[in-house]
Amino acid sequence: MEELFYREKDLFLQKLHPTAAMVFICVLMVLSLIFTNPLYLAGLFLCTGFLIRELQGLKSWEFFLKAGLLMTIPVMIINPLVSKAGATVLLRGPRLPAFGEIDISMEAIFYGAVMSLRLLDVMSVFCLYNIMLHPDKTLNMLERFAFKSTLVLSLATRMFPAMLRRLENIREIQAVRGVDFEKGTFKEVLDKYMNLIYILLLSSLEDSMEIAEAMQARAFGSGRRTCYIRIPFKPRDFICTAAGIAALFAGIFGAVKGYGTMVFYPYLGHLISREDILLLLFLHMMLLIPVFMSWGWRRCRYFR
């Protein structure tokens, strides 16, 4: 499980200024949400994949994708069942009380698949955030705006791996006390796991008082705070931020002009036009700039 969390690997992308990294991740997220064209979404997916590979986080990506795929299955099944907007009906089913007549159309299947791809894009961006940004640095950046919420996040980040370990300990304790997590009906197994969460919650609530006390003893909440970590904004941060912002503007421009989006209903629209190719090329060139820089950073001292 620990592979899922940030680990210092001394990599270019981890050394970016948190603002530059955050801007870039936000751009990827926004673009994933505004595009509906599967080619654009597939391109974003690949760009995010290259970035994750540069961060040596393929194992972590695998976990996120598996979780994402689990979530996409209901989308892929339910959408064709409930959507009646598609004109090309492939299968006519019976009439069901809540759903009405079941018509499975090609457009609805395609829409479900594209939305699943979008979900995988979003999951990949979360994965990228998780392995690229040092939690303390991100939170230090954010705490100037909302310190208390940020501190709660910081504590949660620090406590999460410890809580996972504790949950495993509680599971072991329960096993030794005769609880068999594999035996019983689904409800019984669920109840056994709920007991684990309940014990964790009880113990964590007791611990939280001690943490709060230790914070007060170190003058927390005694007045205006200052910030210890100040990371200089270097030219490389500027280049990555500029590339991200350029990709964002290009994406918004394209979306306003009708590129990057696709018509699904009642009939599928065009997948690609000449302008789409140009926009795709520009977007991906911008989004891959940090990947090239990371590649160069490993090989050429001038990048350092």
Partner 1 sequence: MPLFQVRDLHYYYPESEKPALKGINISVEEGEFVLVTGGSGSGKSTLARALAGLVPDFYGGVFRGEVLFRGRNIRCMDRRKLYRHVGMVFQDPEKQLVKTEAEAEIAFGLENLGLPQQEMFRRVAEVMDFLDLKETKGRFVDKLSGGQKQKIALASVLAMQPEAIILDEPTSQLDPASAEELLNLIKRLNEEMGKTIVLVEQRLERCFHMADRVAIMKDGELTIEGTPRDVAAKSIACGIHFIPPVTRFFTEMGFSRIPITVKEGRRILKENIPQQDSDAEPIQSTDFSKSKQIDNGCCPDPASLMRPDFDRNAGAILELKNVWFSYKDKENVLQEINLEIFPGEFLAILGANGAGKSTLLKIMSGLLVPDRGRVLFCGNECGKKREVYRCGKVAYLSQNPNDYLFQDTVEQELCFTLKNFGIPDGGRIDRILDKLDLKQHKNKNPRDLSSGERQRVALASVLVIEPVLVLLDEPTRGMDYGLKAALGTCLAELDGKKLSIVMVTHDVEFAAEHAKRVIILHDGKIASDGPAEHVLGNSIYYSTQMARMCKGFARNILTVEDAIKRLGPVLTQNRQAFTERGSG
Residues making contact with partner 1 (CB under 8 A)? 2, 7-8, 134-136, 140, 151, 154-155, 157-158, 161-162, 166, 169-170, 172-173, 175-180, 195, 198-199, 202-203, 206-207, 210-230
What's the DSSP call for residue 180?
A: -
Nearer to partner 1, 90 or 146 (CB): 146
| Shortest Å, Cβ 122 to partner 1 | 25
Tokens of 294: 């990371």
| Shortest Å, Cβ 134 to partner 1 | 7
| Shortest Å, Cβ 131 to partner 1 | 14
Nearer to partner 1, 82 or 194 (CB): 194
Kind and range of the H or E run holding 249: helix 235-257
| Shortest Å, Cβ 156 to partner 1 | 10
**Phi-psi region at 221: left, alpha or beta (left = phi > 0; alpha = psi -120 to 50):** left
Nearer to partner 1, 70 or 205 (CB): 205
Nearer to partner 1, 37 or 140 (CB): 140
3-class state of residue 86 by DSSP: coil
- Cβ proximity of 86 and 107 under 8 Å: yes
Nearer to partner 1, 92 or 177 (CB): 177
Nearer to partner 1, 70 or 209 (CB): 209
**Phi-psi region at 232: left, alpha or beta (left = phi > 0; alpha = psi -120 to 50):** beta
| Shortest Å, Cβ 236 to partner 1 | 20
Give bridge partners of residue 96 from the DSSP assignment: 100
- Cβ proximity of 264 and 110 under 8 Å: yes
| Residue 36 φ then ψ, to 5° | -125, -5
| Shortest Å, Cβ 12 to partner 1 | 16
- Cβ proximity of 50 and 8 under 8 Å: no
Instruction: Tell whether omega for the bond before 266 is within 30 degrees of 0, i.e. cis.
Output: yes
Cβ neighbour number for residue 20 with a 10 Å cutoff: 23
